[in-house]
Amino acid sequence: MPRFSANLGFLWNDLPLPQAIHAAAAAGFDAVECHWPYDTDPTAVKAALAATGLPMLGLNTLRGQPGENGLAALPGREAEARAEIDRALDYAARIGCGAVHVMAGIALGPQAEAAFRANLGHACDKAATQGAVILIEPLNIFDAPGYFLNRAEHAAEIIAALARPNLRLMFDCYHMQIMGGDLTRRLQALAPIIGHIQFAAVPGRGAPDRGEVDYRHIFAAIDAMGWTRPLGAEYRPGGPVEPTLGWMTALV
């Protein structure tokens, strides 16, 4: 039976993060994850997690200046990128979060590849000292034009080349469906390197009980893979969250 994590970057994002954690627990989620929690006192986040019993599965590095969408693949910006990686990992350690998604940014070419790999090496080294995982996520070219990492195959090449046991793929079914589809076989093929799975309807990025992807099938396929960690609900509710949550029982 699948378990689910509420991505609080999209769900209950009108509430302060500690209140959003409580809302996710009240709605029946098994975990939470977030995007950029840095304006919230980590002691308040940790207290909300303790009170609800929910784990925080992951958070993102900051995106840099407007339009950059991350720093890790930007040549010449290594010092800034590593400072943000360190900041993210420090925050994660303070709230007991086990994974950080390192955002690549808008970049292209061999220099960007070299910068990204070097910065990921730094991230993996630091994360290893606290038992954390580094995630990289391909984003689709329509929502994130120019983003350095947009193909799962490219992410797999980087993970293989760096050979770090704590470097993993964030498999977002929404982005993956747009960038090639064939979700069931790609999930199965990439399973050894996947660190987290997210989902949303395609193409609208709403709740998963609509659109072109049959998530009843996808959730069953993931369950058949032996996956036991919560799946990340990273969708735009388009209003109050609670009326959109029928999928939690209808699709399992």
Determine the structural domain holding residue 201 and report its residue range.
4-250
What confidence tens digit (pLDDT) does each residue in 177-216 have?
999 999 999 999 999 999 999 999 999 999 999 999 999 9
> How far apart are alpha carbons 132 and 214 in whole angstroms?
32
What confidence tens digit (pLDDT) does each residue in 205-252 have?
999 999 999 999 999 999 999 999 999 999 999 999 999 999 999 999
Closest CA to 12 of 3, 1, 21: 21
Q: Which residue has the tokens 């009240």?
A: 26
What are the residue numbers of the active site?
Answer: 137, 234
Check if the beta carbon of residue 85 is closer than 8 Å to that of residue 102. yes
- Exposure string over 175-208, b if 16+ CB within 10 A, otherwise e: bbbbbeeebeebbeebeebbbbbbbbbbeebbbb
Q: How many structural domains comprise the chain?
A: 1
First-residue to last-residue Cα distance in the chain? 7
What confidence tens digit (pLDDT) does each residue in 5-38 have?
999 999 999 999 999 999 999 999 999 999 999 9
> Using the 8-state DSSP alphabet, how is residue 208 labeled?
T
Contacts 24+ apart (CB under 8 A), 144-150: 144/69, 146/106, 146/107, 146/108, 147/69, 147/70, 147/104, 147/105, 147/106, 148/70, 148/73, 148/104, 148/105, 148/106, 148/107, 148/108, 148/112, 148/116, 149/73, 149/104, 149/116, 150/179
> How far apart are alpha carbons 161 and 208 in whole angstroms?
34
Mean pLDDT of the chain: 97
What confidence tens digit (pLDDT) does each residue in 35-83 have?
999 999 999 999 999 999 999 999 999 999 888 999 999 999 999 999 9
The CATH number of whichever domain residue 143 belongs to comes to 3.20.20.150
> How far apart are alpha carbons 147 and 68 in whole angstroms?
9
Write out the two tokens for 214. Answer: 């049959």
> Using the 8-state DSSP alphabet, how is residue 242 labeled?
G
- For every residue of 144-189, DSSP letters joined together read STTBS---HHHHHHHHHHH--TTEEEEEEHHHHHHTT--HHHHHHH
